[in-house]
Structure 1
C-alpha cells in the first residue's frame, strides 16, 4: 500500500500537481499513524493478556493457601473450645464440692492446658507477593486491600494468643508451685508410659488443687481469655477469611 502511494506521489511531483501531492502525502501519514496505533493496540492487548494470566496464577495459589488456612483455623477453634470447656469443668468441680477422681481431674487438666493455641496460616505466596510488589497484579482493588490487611490482622491474633499462652502458663505454674504433682497427672493420663517414665507406687494426690483459690483465679482468667480469643478474634478472622476466599473465587476464570 505504501509503495502504491509513493508511486502516485512521484507521478504527482513529476506532473507538478502540488495539491494532489499534498493530499496523498497526508493520506500516507494517516496510514503510518494508523499502523502505529494498531501495533500499540496489539502490544497492549498482549500485555493485558500476560497480566491476566499472571493474575490467574496468583489467584489459584492464594486460593490454595487460604483454603488450607481455613482448615487450620477451624481445627484451632475446636482445640481452643475443648481447652476452655475442660477448664470450665474444673471450676464446676470446685463449686459443686463433688469429690472428683484423680483420673477425671488429671484428664481435665490435660485437656485444658496441654495444647498451645497458635494460628499458623499459609502465607508464603502472599508474603512473597507483598515483598516483591506483585500484589499490584491483583486487579480487584477490594481484594488487594483485604489481602494487605490480612497480614496485620494475623499480627493482632498473634498478640492475643501470646496473652492466652501467658494465662495458661500462669495456671500451670500455680499448680506446680503449690506443691501438686505433674508426675501424678502424667500417670493418670497415660503420658508416663508414652514418655518412658515409671509410674509412682504411691502417687501424690492433686485433688487439693480444687480447693485452691489462687488456682481457681488463674483458671477463671484462662477461661475469659480463651473465650475472648474465640469470640473477638477467631470468629471475625474466619469471617474475613471466607470473604477473601469468595472474592478470589469470583475473580478466577473457569
Structure 2
C-alpha cells in the first residue's frame, strides 16, 4: 500500500503536476490523521470497556463483603443476646440474696459468656485494595464512591466496642479472684488446694460484681444499638450498589 501511494506521488512529480501533488499529499496527511484518531478512539473504547468490566467486578466483590458484614453483625447481635440472658440470670440470683449453695455453680456456668466479647469489624479487603491501587475512580458514580468512603470510615462502633472490652476486662479482674474454688483448681492443675468449694462461693452477694454487671448490661445494650444502626447502613449501601448496577446494565 505504501509503495502504491509512493508511485502515485512520483508520477505526479514527474508530470510536473505540483498543485495536484500538494492536494494529494494534503489528502494523504488527512487520511493518516483520521487513521490515528480512529485508532485512539478504538483504544479509548477498549479502555472504557475494560474499566466497565473492572467496575462491575469491584462492585460485586463489595456486595459480597457487605453480605459478610451483615452476617457478622447478626452473629454479634446473637452473641450479645446470650450475654444479656446470662446477665439477667445473674441478676436474678443476686436479687434473691439468699445462701443458695447452687448459685456458685450456676454463676460459674455463665462465666464463659460474661467474660467474653464479640466485636464487629467490617470486611475492608476489596475497598482497601481499590483505594491502595488508585482505582477508586473506576467506580463512575460520585455518590456511590462517597457512600462507600463514609461506610468504611465509620468509627461509630469503635468507642462503644473499646468501652465494652475495658468493662469485660474490669469484670474479669474483679470476679476471677472471687471465682477461685476447689473444683476449678483441681480441673486445671490436677491438684488439691486448700480453697473453698464451688458451692461455698458468695459472689452473688458481692456489690462490686453487681456494679460491673450493671455496666456490662448498659454497654451491651449500647453495642446492640450501634450494631442495628450499622445494619441499616449496610443495607442502604447494598441497595445503592444494586441500583447502580441495574441502571448501568
**TMscore range, shorter length:** 0.7 to 0.9
Q: Which moved more, 1:204-213 or 1:65-74?
A: 204-213
Structure 1 residues 57 and 171 mapped into 2: Cα distance closer, same or farther (>3 Å)? Answer: same
Q: 1:138, 1:175 → 2: CA distance?
A: 52
- d(CA) in 2 for partners of 1:198, 1:117: 33
Aligned ranges 1:1-254 → 2 under 5 Å: 31-97=31-97, 101-102=102-103, 103-111=105-113, 113-153=114-154, 155-177=155-177, 180-183=178-181, 203-205=197-199, 208-231=202-225, 233-249=226-242, 250-251=244-245
Q: TM-score, normalised by structure 2?
A: 0.76
Q: Which ranges in structure 2 are unaligned for 5 or more consecutive residues? A: none
Residues in 2 aligned to 1:184 and 1:151: alpha-carbon distance in whole angstroms:
49
Structure 1 gap segments, 5+ residues each: none
Q: What's the C-alpha RMSD, in Å, of the aligned pairs?
A: 3.7
Equivalent pair of 2:183/2:197 in contact (CA under 8 Å) = no
Task: State TM-score, norm by structure 1.
Answer: 0.75
Deviates more, 1:140-149 or 1:25-34: 25-34
What's the CA shift for 1:225? 1.0
Give, in whole Å, the separation in 2 of the partners of 1:146 and 1:31: 47
Length, aligned pairs only:
243
C-alpha distance in structure 1 between counterparts of 2:57 and 2:89, whole Å: 49
Tell me how far apart the structure 2 counterparts of residues 208 and 165 of structure 1 sit (CA, whole Å): 25
